[in-house]
């Protein structure tokens, strides 16, 4: 198994190190799962989406971590623990802190939006899959996300998420000067994670973002 199970912090998490031949700090991709993957068994996360892709493909040119929520909790509630995990990984692994990507699926997307907006300057990019912006996020906080590139993916047949809601977020961010790519998968439902994360263009995007470069432009 390419992905390790680690349970020595406030949130257990899956972890995959960068390729052994890497000789310089590497990007970090931090993944937040959806509601149905909450619990105490990290193996659940490996059944689909980005964790499954990483497990089948590692070593990759980025470090990967995916914490797991207990039942009935949300990523918004555990924001401090996610940031603590990020800080620990930066301190203990060859992570380039200017190349940290946060991504979420469904409930995890709400967490990714909230955490990225609440911690400006920590992330080089955000990938949102089949999820909405949480109501806890103020408009001024959302505007802060214009500083980082964002990839949004949604299925055209997603019955859990109105396309109009996503289009409004895209419009709001673009009007604020943000860089947002919105990909609609016409025949996709809510569960498009395998298709999204397995796409090589997105995989290349994950390792191409650099916060320092974005700031310098």
Which stretches within the chain are classed as H helix? 49-57, 79-92, 107-118, 139-143, 163-175, 193-197, 200-206, 211-216
pTM more than 0.85: yes
Instruction: Tell me how crowded residue 178 is: count the other CB atoms within 10 A of its CB.
Output: 18
- 148 with 122: CB under 8 angstroms? no
Q: Is the pLDDT of residue 13 over 60?
A: yes
- 66 with 50: CB under 8 angstroms? yes
- Give the max Cα distance, the chain: 45
- 143 with 118: CB under 8 angstroms? no
Q: Does domain 4-212 have CATH number 3.40.50.1820?
A: yes
- 93 with 27: CB under 8 angstroms? no
Tokens in use for 103? 């991504």
Q: What is the pLDDT of residues 101-146, one digit of tens each?
A: 999 999 999 999 999 999 989 999 999 999 999 887 887 888 889 9
Domain boundaries, the chain: 4-212
């Amino acid at each position: 198994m390419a992905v390790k199970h680690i349970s020595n912090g406030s949130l257990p998490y899956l972890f995959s190190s960068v390729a052994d031949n890497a000789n310089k700090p590497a990007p970090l991709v931090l993944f937040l799962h959806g509601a149905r993957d909450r619990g105490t068994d990290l193996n659940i996360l490996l059944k689909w989406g980005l964790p499954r892709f990483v497990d089948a493909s590692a070593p990759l040119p980025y470090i990967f971590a995916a914490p797991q929520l207990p039942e009935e909790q949300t990523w918004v509630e555990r924001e401090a623990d996610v940031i603590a995990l990020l800080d620990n990984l930066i301190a203990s692994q060859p992570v380039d802190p200017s190349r940290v990507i946060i991504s979420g699926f469904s409930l995890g997307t709400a967490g990714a939006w909230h955490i990225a907006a609440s911690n400006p300057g920590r992330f080089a990019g955000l990938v949102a899959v089949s999820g909405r912006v949480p109501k806890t996020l103020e408009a001024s906080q959302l505007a802060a996300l214009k500083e980082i590139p964002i990839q949004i993916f949604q299925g055209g047949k997603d019955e859990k998420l109105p396309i109009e809601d996503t289009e409004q977020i895209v419009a709001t961010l673009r009007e604020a000067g943000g860089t947002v790519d919105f990909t609609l998968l016409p025949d996709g439902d809510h569960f498009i994670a395998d298709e999204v994360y397995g796409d090589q263009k997105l995989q290349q995007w994950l390792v191409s973002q650099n916060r320092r470069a974005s700031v310098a432009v």
